[in-house]
A and B are shown apart, each in its own frame.
Chain A
């Protein structure tokens, strides 16, 4: 009874999704668009439902690329963040580089990186990692700096080395910030992976979308968009659950 109720309440939180579907349908019907311009949601859902096997491999590929890219970007950001925390000289090199990396539009970067790494998985991975790097980097730097004065004093009077203080105080203090960064970056990782797939890839939802569009399979193209949206939302929800669990552990 209560379980059913909580499920219902949970579903109610997703009313914007239902609204989007209804507005989408209205928009198509009211404007009298043909299927080639914009299919109705029901046709799209039908295509996804009837061809799950067509979607799953590309979905899995994009998911793996997103997660691996997020992992790589996070790892690089942690290393850079620790460097910046540790030394002003490293900070002077890394921080402007990170800002430049952030300022260059990713679409401009993709051809260059594809030239360097080849038109293959590693480019997709690299693009995703680069997109994920900046937010995690910024949150890591601020998280490392957020250790309380009393905590720093404690480690000082205990005679702790810099490495010990980093490991036992600053890194653990930074965990909540890093988890926030991962939560807000996770959907972006999906977006980045898809963009790279769309432009250069041979697999993944981005590639599926670009192929479907070239063959004017609008149900399939829109179906890919729906699946990608679902994947994006799911990574966000997953990252949020992870964040809650981890933050409860360290605070």
Chain B
């Protein structure tokens, strides 16, 4: 790793060229409009360009309501772009879901209330019509710190534990692409920090192409290789920067001036993005 821990931006905004890739996630000139009543429509995204290289962890930062989650839903194949192209590995995003190679953790954990934690994590196997790999499920539960809670039902767990179960479920089939939509949004600061550390550890073990949507600057800096800041609605890319802090980024990293410098810059960017909204 280089000694320059953070490439702090001098001129704003700078659009760094995205890494050249043949696969990964690519959004080109993507716009999304939601029809409202009487021929009016809400433009959530406007000409957005975004690329995530294979094995890269990109965090998408933006003020609330800027269309971050819309980007994620487009990449997950849950919605269609009004204009522009969304490709995952050079193909329509829904294809990846159909091949059971997509892992998604939503803002809401979406655990099935009638199933045990173990069954919830095993759900992707069953949906894909594959035999449940019990060892894999056990490993994942241990990985997210839920060993011993296999037979609990979601309602018996705390919010943080449910989110961790949802992340274990997202990882169950060894996805090629992982999408995280503020998976820790509902958690308190301490739990959130702990979850960030766990996610970083999980990700360092198997570098999955990951797109994380968040409004938490610390979280983005701790986890991502690259951070993309969006403007307020309609969402566009306002700024992109690479995080050069060496991994693993432990608690000590959060006390370094590099970390704070980057967090401050990005926070300022979010503030001004809010004003344009």
Q: How large is the interface on B (under 10, 10 to 19, 20 to 34, 35 or more residues)?
A: 20 to 34
Contacts A154-B106, A157-B76, A159-B99; A251 near B127 (Cβ below 8 A): no
Q: Is the CB–CB distance between B97 and A159 below 8 Å?
A: yes
| Inter-chain contacts of B100 with A (CB < 8 A) | 158-159
Per the bound structure, the CA–CA distance linking A160 and B109 in Å amounts to: 18
Q: Tell me, yes or no, whether A244 is within 8 Å of chain B by CB.
A: no
Residue total for A at the interface (Cβ-Cβ under 8 A): 19
Q: Is the CB–CB distance between B113 and A251 below 8 Å?
A: yes
Main secondary structure of the interface of B (DSSP, over half): loop
Per the bound structure, the CA–CA distance linking A153 and B155 in Å amounts to: 20
A151, A156, A158, A168 — which one has the most chain B CB atoms within 10 A of its CB? A158
| Inter-chain contacts of A159 with B (CB < 8 A) | 97-100, 102, 127-128
Q: Is the CB–CB distance between B114 and A251 below 8 Å?
A: yes
Q: Tell me, yes or no, whether B41 is within 8 Å of chain A by CB.
A: no
Q: Is the CB–CB distance between A156 and B110 below 8 Å?
A: no
| Inter-chain contacts of A148 with B (CB < 8 A) | 108, 110
Contacts A172-B114, A250-B114; A154 near B97 (Cβ below 8 A): no
Q: Tell me, yes or no, whether B126 is within 8 Å of chain A by CB.
A: yes
Per the bound structure, the CA–CA distance linking A172 and B114 in Å amounts to: 8
Per the bound structure, the CA–CA distance linking A250 and B77 in Å amounts to: 29
| Inter-chain contacts of A249 with B (CB < 8 A) | 114
Q: Is the CB–CB distance between A154 and B114 below 8 Å?
A: no
The residue from B73, B99, B110, B179 contacting A151, defined by CB atoms under 8 A apart: B110
Name the distance in Å between B223's Cβ and chain A's nearest Cβ: 21
Name the distance in Å between A161's Cβ and chain B's nearest Cβ: 8
Name the distance in Å between B131's Cβ and chain A's nearest Cβ: 15
Q: Tell me, yes or no, whether A55 is within 8 Å of chain B by CB.
A: no
Q: Is the CB–CB distance between A154 and B113 below 8 Å?
A: no
| Inter-chain contacts of A45 with B (CB < 8 A) | none
Q: Is the CB–CB distance between B78 and A158 below 8 Å?
A: no
| Inter-chain contacts of B114 with A (CB < 8 A) | 172, 175, 249-251
Q: Tell me, yes or no, whether B124 is within 8 Å of chain A by CB.
A: yes
Query: Interface 1/0s, chain B 111-153, versus A by CB < 8 A?
Result: 0111000000001101110000000000000000000000000
Query: Interface 1/0s, chain A 178-209, versus B by CB < 8 A?
Result: 00000000000000000000000000000000
Per the bound structure, the CA–CA distance linking A224 and B114 in Å amounts to: 42
A175 (CB) vs chain B CBs: closest residue: B114
Q: Is the CB–CB distance between B78 and A156 below 8 Å?
A: yes
| Inter-chain contacts of B127 with A (CB < 8 A) | 155, 158-160, 164, 168
Q: Tell me, yes or no, whether A150 is within 8 Å of chain B by CB.
A: yes
B126 (CB) vs chain A CBs: closest residue: A168
The residue from B78, B107, B113, B126 contacting A157, defined by CB atoms under 8 A apart: B78
Contacts A150-B106, A168-B126, A168-B127; A157 near B77 (Cβ below 8 A): yes
| Inter-chain contacts of A150 with B (CB < 8 A) | 106-110
Contacts A153-B78, A168-B123; A158 near B97 (Cβ below 8 A): yes
Chain A residues 203 to 251 lying within 8 A of chain B, measured CB to CB, are: 249-251
**Given A150-B108, A157-B76, 16 additional A-B pairs, CB 8 A:** A150-B106, A150-B110, A151-B110, A151-B112, A153-B78, A153-B106, A154-B104, A158-B124, A159-B97, A159-B98, A159-B99, A159-B100, A159-B102, A160-B127, A169-B112, A251-B114
- A-B CB proximity, top 9 nearest: A150-B110, A250-B114, A150-B108, A157-B104, A159-B97, A154-B110, A160-B127, A158-B127, A159-B98
Binding site for B on A (CB under 8 A): 148, 150-151, 153-160, 164, 168-169, 172, 175, 249-251
A-B contact pairs, 15 of them (CB 8 A): A148-B108, A148-B110, A150-B107, A150-B108, A151-B112, A153-B106, A153-B110, A154-B110, A157-B76, A157-B97, A157-B104, A159-B100, A164-B126, A168-B126, A172-B114
Binding site for A on B (CB under 8 A): 73, 76-78, 97-100, 102, 104, 106-110, 112-114, 123-124, 126-128, 155, 179
